[in-house]
Chain A
């Protein structure tokens, strides 16, 4: 019967979405909470993202990275929201800003806890935080990040480089302030640059 067939199609679509997309809800929430900082707003954002994803699920290519696809939708949803609220964040990658952010290429400190790494990440500019998380936590490729953030791949690479270097610098400074993790290398980072 016509209506029953349509009903069955909906059930099949839902089953497919439930298997493929819904298992990523915890990852999406973590990312949303990191971006908006507020629990209620994060929940709203995740909900909107999944509803939007459901509506365009027919465009998702099976076998590709579903989490990256969902994150892309989440960024678009957030961007649309911010435009609606008249508070779209303007980000510029001018060289002066970058030069101030990263003074040198420090060696990677050790003996640092997970929590300290996360705290150091929070101290970086937002545009560096997000690319580092998308790449190093969410395992997205440069191309996937570029699509999610609607920026060129070159900009992703540049932000990633600065972001990771800044993170290492933050951690090295923190480790030095506590007198931990000091090695011959951390005491004279410039020596390495000369090699």
Chain B
């Protein structure tokens, strides 16, 4: 083999794309030719620089925010997509709707509840049997409806994850002046020092509308995932005020999200994310004292 021939196929040799016989010819030539050994080494080095340069070029790096959004969006598609035939779609939609309602009403799990009226938030000791008994004995059920639960999950998905709401969000201060005082300084209440698990970061705060329901929306990032804290007025959901203040509820949604919520007299606060149940709940626990206090102050001032 001549040096000229070697240089023609040197790159294919590096890529291991040559026939076995040709490979042997190359190896034999390299054993006797120092110039071609140097050239081979230089080409390997060039390839390595190209690879390193490409993989570490600052303008080619994906943002953490996009990585989290991508994962959530693909999971959303994965867990909600239909594999059913078009002919049966209507029937399956009805079944799916029933499952959503069943999930919201039937599978709700009460994790913890307070023993006293004020203030001990989410102390341990409550259990599901006690909760069911209490409801049978005349305790009011949560004011939160299945439709509201759907809106919460929908807002997290369409606002925080995919930015595809019909109506543009407005800032919390403006929403606080126009619609609900509880939205003013909501971000500070959520980010209250020392309340959240380590590593939680603030992404943004705004007020948005999903299917007619207005929310104060604070978006956090934890372990690479976006987490929505959604505050909404629930007076319109029922005739009276909530008696569930001081309790924390958690539920798994059929589309893979985990949701935790608590209520004040006239508001419901949700934490929704694709995190595990435990992680999602730890954020809800972290924000509950300061956010409840903040909302109660706003309710009193209204």
**Interface positions of A (Cβ within 8 A of B):** 3, 7, 10-11, 13-14, 17-18, 22, 25-26, 29-30, 33-34, 43, 46-47, 50-51, 54-55, 105, 107-110, 112-115, 117-118, 121, 132-133, 135-137, 141-142, 157, 160-161, 164, 167-168, 171, 185, 192-195
Contacts and interface: CB of A to CB of B under 8 A. Distances in A.
B70 A46 contact: yes
Nearest to A106: B7
B186 to A, nearest CB: 29
Contacts of B179: none
Contact of B75 (A18, A118, A193): A18
Contacts of B66: 29, 43
Interface string B1-17: 01110011001100101
Interface in B62-108: 62, 66-67, 70-71, 73-75, 77-79, 81, 95, 99
B302 interface: no
B74 A7 contact: no
Given A26-B67, A142-B17, A195 B3 contact: yes
B239 interface: no
Contacts of A13: 78
Interface stretch (B51-59, B117-125, B261-269, B291-299): B51-59
B31 interface: no
B46 A121 contact: no
Contacts of B256: 11, 14
Contacts of A54: 74, 77-78, 81
Contacts of A55: 81
Contacts of B50: 114, 117-118, 121, 132, 136-137, 167
Interface residues of B, number: 44
A7 to B, nearest CB: 7
Given A22-B71, A30-B54, A185-B35, A11 B7 contact: no
Interface stretch (B37-45, B129-137, B196-204, B207-215): B37-45
21 contacts: A3-B99, A10-B78, A10-B81, A13-B78, A14-B79, A18-B71, A29-B62, A34-B54, A47-B74, A108-B42, A108-B45, A108-B46, A109-B42, A110-B45, A115-B57, A132-B50, A141-B17, A160-B11, A161-B8, A168-B46, A192-B7
A94 B84 CA distance: 49
B254 A7 contact: yes
B85 to A, nearest CB: 14
Nearest to A17: B78
A30 B55 contact: yes
Contacts of B47: 136
B50 to A, nearest CB: 5
A185 B50 CA distance: 22
Nearest to A119: B53
Interface of B: 2-4, 7-8, 11-12, 15, 17, 35, 39, 42-43, 45-47, 49-57, 59-62, 66-67, 70-71, 73-75, 77-79, 81, 95, 99, 254, 256
B70 A117 contact: no
A7 B100 CA distance: 13
**Interface secondary structure of A, over-half rule:** helix
A133 to B, nearest CB: 7
A44 to B, nearest CB: 11
B77 A51 contact: yes
Contacts of B4: 105, 192-195
Contact of B70 (A34, A50, A118, A135): A50
Contacts of A185: 35
A46 B71 CA distance: 11
B77 A110 contact: no
A157 B11 CA distance: 10
B74 A114 contact: no
B49 to A, nearest CB: 5
Nearest to A40: B66
A33 B17 contact: no
A25 B74 CA distance: 11
B78 A14 contact: yes
Contact of B67 (A25, A136, A160): A25
Contacts of B95: 3
